[in-house]
Amino acid sequence: MTQSRVLAGQAVISRPTRAVVQARSSVITRAEFQLAPPPYELDALEPKMSKKTLEFHWGKHHRTYVTNLNNQIKGTDLEKKSLEEVIKATWNNGKPTPEFNNAAQAWNHTFFWESMKPNGGGEPSGELKAAIEKEFGSVGELKAQLKQAGATQFGSGWAWLVSDKGKLSVIKTPNAECPLHLGKTALLTIDVWEHAYYLDVQNLRPTYIDTFLEHLVNWDKVAERYKASLNEGAEAEGGWRVLLSWP
């Protein structure tokens, strides 16, 4: 008899229920973190993002982060923590550990896959659009700032739309860093590591970012995250609801 722990909307890890724990009277060992697939087929974003890119990016890079993380935390106190808790514990006051790098990259990539959808793009609507227009003046200005952040991130990293107590802003982070350990709520991200786009457009990062914003971004998911970030009393981390409580 098990209870599911839902992380990042996709990754499901099971723990014994309270009744089973009491019967065993033993220490619970958390199941390994699992690599969840993107919420669409690997060829579903073609021709804007190729199946080959997804095969390498998700199938090899993302998989390696999850595998390395499981190996690194095995037999340690980190093994009992959620993915978000591992990230916060290993940020190490700005001196991230190897465990942080793999945990944050596992988190970032799941968030990135869910930030896209087939036939995406266009503009947001409703509360999200109103919030964007209030903060940035227009959706076009938001896109311009995301393009600037992504194009000017030196080396590898991420461009983000974040909320900080309801106030929207665009930030960029290097390497594996993410809004979670900065105390901000992530709403949208663009992966600007070269492996995200090199097979499709080689070194043309601005072209890739344009394609993401005009044809791939999932504004419905961004709106869902924004609404979750505003819900008082909801356990939300990075815009996702994380179910951790016992029955």
Three-state secondary structure along the chain?
CEEEEEECCCEEEEEECHHHHHHHCCCCCCCCCCCCCCCCCCCCCCCCCCHHHHHHHHHHHHHHHHHHHHHHHCCCHHHHCCHHHHHHHHCHHHCCCHHHHHHHHHHHHHHHHHCECCCCCCCCCHHHHHHHHHHHCCHHHHHHHHHHHHHHCCCCEEEEEEEECCEEEEEEEECCCCHHHHCCEEEEEEECCHHHCHHHHCCCHHHHHHHHHHHHECHHHHHHHHHHHHCCCCCEECCEECECCCC
pLDDT at 239: 40
> Which residues participate in the annotated binding site for Mn(2+)?
57, 109, 191, 195
Domain ranges of the chain: 2-241
pTM as predicted: 0.83
pLDDT at 158: 98
Fold observed for domain 2-241: minor pseudopilin epsh fold (3.55.40)
pLDDT at 40: 98
> Which residues participate in the annotated binding site?
57, 109, 191, 195
pLDDT tens by residue, the chain, 247 residues: 333 333 443 333 333 333 333 333 334 455 799 999 999 999 999 999 999 999 999 999 999 999 999 999 999 999 999 999 999 999 998 999 999 999 999 999 999 999 999 999 999 999 999 999 999 999 999 999 999 999 999 999 999 999 998 899 999 999 999 999 999 999 999 999 999 999 999 999 999 999 999 999 999 999 999 999 998 434 444 443 332 222 2
